[in-house]
Chains A and B, each alone.
Chain A
């Protein structure tokens, strides 16, 4: 404890320099923590939007469907939807049938992706459908109602309420057509989706392909994304091996979004490392200056009978105390910044286009942070370790001096 007290007193020997060093380290911690939490919140928001309109947090497919997207790789859902819905943590299970088709109006025709859905379940979850008025939504699984992308509507030169025909290939190879009526219009902001999306009841979609009771995808939506691994295991346990179906995470089902997030975060991590490196260099400089100023004193301490290791320990203790103080202050500041970014966020509406896409998901221009306390703690620990590392050279230098050499310093 005596050495700790001495180290504490030594830190405040040059108050101004210590305060400046503390401020630099604390500010860098605040910056890194707040930026990470902001990214964490933005990514979480994008994943949430993406999985609810896309594959779900966990998706169930036939083996090889993800790679080939071959429409013959469907499976019978039977009681699976109910079984999976009963798992603790599952908010909703969305059955989907994906059918490449041709949409024709009296004036135009376009290649489309027809998706057969359960409208009641889908409306609760899918962000594309949540904004639709009640009279703009598909009424039942068998109805001829269709929700269509806004661009596709324009390209087919039809209006809400008007009819159009979709044609797809049946399982037996024959072409089959169905007459549909535009019930609602989706404007997702993503060109690819708005120019190819048609949603219909899964019953009506099954008539096109002749495989009633089958789906290509069960999108499992969780109420807490943090429980994905645990729920994934339980979902996988419920899958019949006879049908050759498997459960995959959203990262596998939506690789564009997953990779976009990974790439973005990797470049951020690189910037974080640069920030921390600059801080570490500053700390080395500060500690080295502090050591060089005290060489005479170290010579005296060695003369009095202290061992070189005691001197080194004292300097390392000074670094630890500095690091811990800075970590505490920095984390408080980082928490305040995060609190602001959670409550208010950063509005980039003036800086980004309205329909900016990121990894296949529309980017929300209001960026809000999300708390990641584990990572915040980790950063604080890294900085303390970095401060210790920065003290290594000054400590070695101090320990190498002899009493006579030290006392010759002025």
Chain B
């Protein structure tokens, strides 16, 4: 059974009297362990598709099933629980909580899961070592570089051992060198831990690293290419 399934999914946004179709009749499946990218220009529906997969939004029509859960029928509370246990997020602008330290940010999902503090700390410490940011635990996000912040965000996404990590334009605010480093890091995590990574990006560096590239154009599926690497 696929990990993620989008069946003829459409999403229409309403702005006043206007209806704006963001996705139209998209059908996709993702298996566990994939390293895939939703590619396309701005407005192609990449972020919308990612939001639907991430249980952040409901489709207007069609069905989204993630790890056996039909997202269309689940309550807000159930979706929140599901996200907490199964999905990790990496955002374009890192979205770390500014008043928390790097370690506290990374622990945040574990805190929501009510994992005891010593256990949280130990897990995050190990992650920080793996991600090459050990020693930065007590720094606030404002004291970190863009690359360091994004690594903390990756640690936060990984901390709860989710089945899938969704990354929305994760390299958009980074320089080339840092972007390459982070992509390599995520590939390594995908290889070593088997975590499914789905990106939305129009960055060629990201597309180049992906093993599967799904092109979206004007909200429709234009192409779906698997590259064996």
Q: List chain A positions with a Cβ less than 8 A from chain B.
A: 2, 6, 9-10, 12-13, 296-297, 300-308, 310, 402-404, 407
Contact = CB atoms under 8 A, between A and B. Distances in A.
Contacts of A10: 99
A306 B80 contact: yes
Interface residues of B, number: 26
B91 A13 contact: no
A308 B108 CA distance: 15
B81 interface: yes
Contacts of B89: 300, 303-304
Contacts of B54: 303
A402 B84 CA distance: 15
Contacts of B95: 296-297, 300, 407
Contacts of A310: 112
Nearest to B57: A404
Given A301-B108, A403-B56, 15 more contacts: A9-B99, A13-B98, A297-B97, A300-B91, A301-B97, A303-B54, A304-B109, A304-B156, A305-B109, A305-B113, A306-B80, A308-B76, A310-B112, A402-B56, A402-B57
B7 interface: no
Contacts of B98: 13, 297
B80 A2 contact: no
A305 B100 contact: no
A307 B80 contact: yes
Contacts of B117: 2
A304 B84 contact: yes
Contacts of B178: none
Interface string B75-102: 0110011011101010100010111100
A407 B56 CA distance: 11
Contacts of A12: 99
A304 B83 contact: yes
Nearest to B51: A404
Nearest to A302: B80
A13 B98 CA distance: 9
Contacts of A2: 111, 117
